[in-house]
Structure 1
């Protein structure tokens, strides 16, 4: 049985916490919470379970290290505070504690990450003989697992497109997702953070380069493209309230080019209502979201992944799947050689062991 600490209880963290509590092969020994209203509460209360666990949340990282867990599931928002997140992860790694994370999406393709991010974490892994694995749904599953499955079905590929097409209206994450994508902003307010030159490529060029390397192709250029869509009427949703003239949909992509044309594309189309950007692609069959891979080749292959939950919105279901991408790999991470782990290092069968009990 692996001893596990859950770090954060937000949109993804509350689902990974619930999963850890439920699995008989994992033992929850600690929970980190940053906000005062969550510190000192039982873990069960923080993830909607009725039976108390006896594990009380704390903001004391030293106390969590003293518990000597095998692994920390780190789901705190890191992209808006990268140096602090690197420091927190490094403390655990240097103490010999493995980390499985959905944060710091630049590390989904760790061998292509920039030195400022990769080097200190590699040093921490070496100091503690520990391992770090970062993954999620997108970046993550659609660009490293679903896409490989699709490509395995063709004898020749001419281009690959990886898409997330989701209605984010019910996604309660304006602080990062909403602000960074520019939802609720007018053109006069300038470019949102995600649309600034180089930002999208910093987050998705690693997976594009990684896929190119796996395909054995050389890219001439990697570029980003962005496109906002502004509302013509008021929109009220969980994400935010949008007034006429403010952004209600965003389309952006990172493209890997060869001979002047994109051969690897990783694209997002995100709306706050189905009425937004009617000219852009929608999920098929009336779904509110899809992770899609299209391979133009011999033959043409299209894979569509839908996540659904009887009591939750599809964005919440997506957060469960994001958590699953790291929780399911905990045992393998704990047995892996020290260092930064890429998804291709993990046998796919190792990520399903322990799921049925």
Structure 2
């Protein structure tokens, strides 16, 4: 049975989701949304680097997409900078009975801890349309709600667990959003949006709290931390050129604390080229990137995940992010109405249709 699917956006993640939707025999691409005037009116294949036209033409007409009778929308449009608009777009599809899987609006990765102004209209839309919403990615997402479960399942007793992304972002061409959000290239006294008070907790705190719930422990506090590394010499990479005296690496984390002890940590160490922050941890074997879980327990467990084998690791991370949504289309279409979190799914629910 083919699922009829709409791809919503053709950016860094959307381009790869679109390629998968066009190629997979279990899915039929019936619609495509694009924001840019340079993309509207072009064939879907043209927008993701494929040669054979699909006959599906990009549009910014939401009403026309709603009339297509799709089973599911893959929503990868940048939502964190325009959350109210994104919620309205998602809610329109959900109210019309179209299921949605997505990679943005990342507060909904842990929906039970999302703010009510985000969660409530989406829950109402799911009820009205008898539809399902599932938001996930690689981090926030997979590392903190799937990989960590696999690691913890191998210990009879765990005392602490650390979830890390250690990535060289130098080859990632996204200075406008990722670079600006992390404060790369800025003066050390500048506060990027990511480090404004409460932002890190809003993005990763829900996963910390959800993991605590799944472990059956009660947290006394969830707190955030961050630090910056300033380069003593210029760094030039795909992301941007960074002058000496400017930020070229960041390290931040959200921690769950019980009885005065840090028991859950979700941490990022992100640098521009491997020359940045040489005293901070690197991935194993000096690889350019890793998503890692380390359990201090009986026995201790470490699982390292490397995406992008044979291709650039940042490209691999973007494709993997798209996969978390595309691979959940079938389960979202079969699930009862409502908002799903990763712990609501079986491990096999992210596998259907991936081998073709």
Shared fold (TM-score greater than 0.5)?
yes
Q: How far does residue 287 in structure 1 lie from its aligned partner after superposition?
A: 1.2
Q: What pairs with 1:134-283 in structure 2 (closer than 5 Å)? A: 134-188=135-189, 190-283=190-283
Deviation per CA, 1:132-177: give whole Å up to 9, x if none: 0000000000000000000000000000000000000111111211
Match of 1:316 in 2: 315
Structure 1 residue ranges, 4+ long, deviating more than 6 angstroms after superposition: none
Gaps of 5+ in 1: none
CA RMSD of aligned residues (A): 0.9
Q: How far does residue 350 in structure 1 lie from its aligned partner after superposition?
A: 2.2
Match of 1:346 in 2: 345
Q: How far does residue 93 in structure 1 lie from its aligned partner after superposition?
A: 0.7
Match of 1:107 in 2: 108
Q: Contact (CA 8 Å) 2:188, 2:228: kept in 1 or not?
A: no
Do structure 1's residue 33 and structure 2's residue 61 form an aligned pair? no
Q: What pairs with 1:74-93 in structure 2 (closer than 5 Å)? A: 74-93=75-94
Match of 1:286 in 2: 286
Match of 1:67 in 2: 68
Q: Contact (CA 8 Å) 1:80, 1:176: kept in 2 or not?
A: no
Helix, strand or coil at the partner of 2:320: helix
Distance in 2 (CA, whole Å) between partners of 1:281 and 1:105 is: 26
Distance in 1 (CA, whole Å) between partners of 2:173 and 2:134 is: 26
Deviation per CA, 1:227-250: give whole Å up to 9, x if none: 011111111112111101111000
Aligned length: 355
Distance in 2 (CA, whole Å) between partners of 1:91 and 1:356 is: 32
Helix, strand or coil at the partner of 2:64: helix
Distance in 2 (CA, whole Å) between partners of 1:316 and 1:31 is: 22
Structure 2 length normalisation: TM-score? 0.98
Q: How far does residue 187 in structure 1 lie from its aligned partner after superposition?
A: 2.4
Distance in 2 (CA, whole Å) between partners of 1:263 and 1:315 is: 29
Distance in 1 (CA, whole Å) between partners of 2:328 and 2:335 is: 10
Match of 1:333 in 2: 332
Helix, strand or coil at the partner of 2:74: strand
Q: How far does residue 309 in structure 1 lie from its aligned partner after superposition?
A: 4.2
Distance in 1 (CA, whole Å) between partners of 2:339 and 2:274 is: 39
